[in-house]
Amino acid sequence: MISSFKARKGILLAGGASVDRIVRAAGSPAYIYDAEVMRRQYRRLGKALPKSFRLFYSIKANPNLSVVKVFKKLGAGAEVASAHELMTVLKAGVSRGAIAYAGPGKTDAEIELAVTSRIGAINVESATEFERIVAAAERTREKANVAIRLNLDYYHDDGAGGHVMAGGARKFGVDPDMAEKLAIRAVKEKWVRLVGFHLFPGTGIMNPQILAGSYKALADYALRLAEKHQTRISYLNFGGGLGIPYKDGEPELDIHATTAVLKDTAKELRRSKWFKETMFVMEPGRYLVGPSGVYISSVIDVKTSRGKTYVITDGGIHHALIPIVMNKSFPTALVNRMGEKADTVVRVGGPLCATPDQFSREVMLPAPKIGDLLGIFNSGAYGYSASMLGFLSHTAPAEALVDDGRVYIIRERQAPVMGAKKRLKI
């Protein structure tokens, strides 16, 4: 959000550095992240959580190695959803016991990597995936730590903000009856160790009641199974999905109302002997890193078409798919003219020869000029890695991190790689 940044003489600052100078050095377009905003978000949430909770950074939000290292130094574990993400967090030095592997379509190779990496939890998404984990563990002679991802029904109101990812028919998680059968099997299985359970409530949720419903559903289910089958639970993952505001004037998620439920939940679970030493986990991504980033592109043309003003930039949906197309409310400003009156209605379009390459809404800006820098805020999460970087073969943007006043290029601009013909011997 714009409030995460300051300006000096009309120029946006990131961590005290002028973004125009960063763009001149890194090239345009570019993603710029402020490490101090990441730390602020992490500490704000960590302070509000019970002491029995551990924060895992969900690196799908922003998997750049330098960003992962910021959270690792703060003490975060990691939630990963691919082999490359797993290798990234291991390279960053995240403790193996504080890594959870999620995702409903893990390949055999990914499962084997997770098993041999001896990570804290592989989240089981189905009965057949469980069998493949057992097979990989037996084949590699490595006992696998598994947590069953639950698909539980709980109170939610889809109109209250965010996208719910549990309850009803879902591709995610295991339904309650099957989950109990898998838990029983896991306790008896030689090559796996049942460490606990996982429930991911959804994404971008702004209503504490939705989150509270998921937390209570997970706690109730885990407590019932642990006591029924007399099984110690060492790991209970309440997921992430904490939203951040996008629309002007939209209030922030009430973190204290959200965590108050978790304090009561953890206290209740601790009364059971099966949860005396449980590590409770929350795994946010967007909440931690989203407000830290701004995507900046340069205005290369300003034109009028049938009474409408169009601003054409050198960045578009190939670099910032979610902010431009999939969300209508990302804050937007001319970052080299901060503080000027936004009195011109414009339509912003990128450079691509493709109709969808324009904002899904009109925005108010100071009368734009060629050479201005357009910033899309809240772009620290699901920006670079969630876009169509190869579309129309434009150069991918740079990424820069500002940390303690120092600017680091953490990914150079990258030209598209041309395919080379290779004959297969089959």
361-396 confidence digits (pLDDT tens): 889 999 999 999 999 999 999 999 898 888 889 999
State which residues of the chain have pLDDT below 70.
Answer: 1, 155-169, 248, 326-328
The pLDDT assigned to 152 comes to 86
Name the class of domain 2-33+293-411.
Answer: mainly beta
For residue 202, the surrounding DSSP H or E stretch is strand 202-203
Question: Could you tell me if 32 and 335 are in contact, meaning their C-beta atoms sit under 8 angstroms apart?
Answer: no
The pLDDT assigned to 158 comes to 46
The pLDDT assigned to 398 comes to 96
Question: Could you tell me if 150 and 123 are in contact, meaning their C-beta atoms sit under 8 angstroms apart?
Answer: no
Per-domain residue ranges of the chain = 2-33+293-411, 95-284
87-144 confidence digits (pLDDT tens): 999 999 999 999 999 999 999 999 999 999 999 999 999 999 999 999 999 999 999 9
Question: Could you tell me if 207 and 157 are in contact, meaning their C-beta atoms sit under 8 angstroms apart?
Answer: yes
Question: Could you tell me if 103 and 124 are in contact, meaning their C-beta atoms sit under 8 angstroms apart?
Answer: no
The pLDDT assigned to 388 comes to 87
For residue 345, the surrounding DSSP H or E stretch is strand 344-349
Sequence length of the chain is 426
CA–chain centroid gap for 147, Å, is: 20
The pLDDT assigned to 257 comes to 92
The pLDDT assigned to 327 comes to 62
pTM higher than 0.75 for the full model?
Answer: yes
Q: Is 132 exposed, middle or buried (0-12, 13-18, 19+ CB in 10 A)?
A: middle
- Three-state DSSP at 153 gives coil
The answer to whether 2-33+293-411 and 95-284 have equal CATH topology is no
Q: Across 204-257, where does the E strand assignment appear?
A: 235-237
How many helices (H) and strands (E) are present in the chain, helices listed first? 11, 22
Q: Which CATH architecture has domain 95-284?
A: Alpha-Beta Barrel (3.20)
- Three-state DSSP at 328 gives coil
* Torsion angle of the four alpha carbons 97, 98, 99, 104, in this order, in degrees rounded to the nearest 10: 100
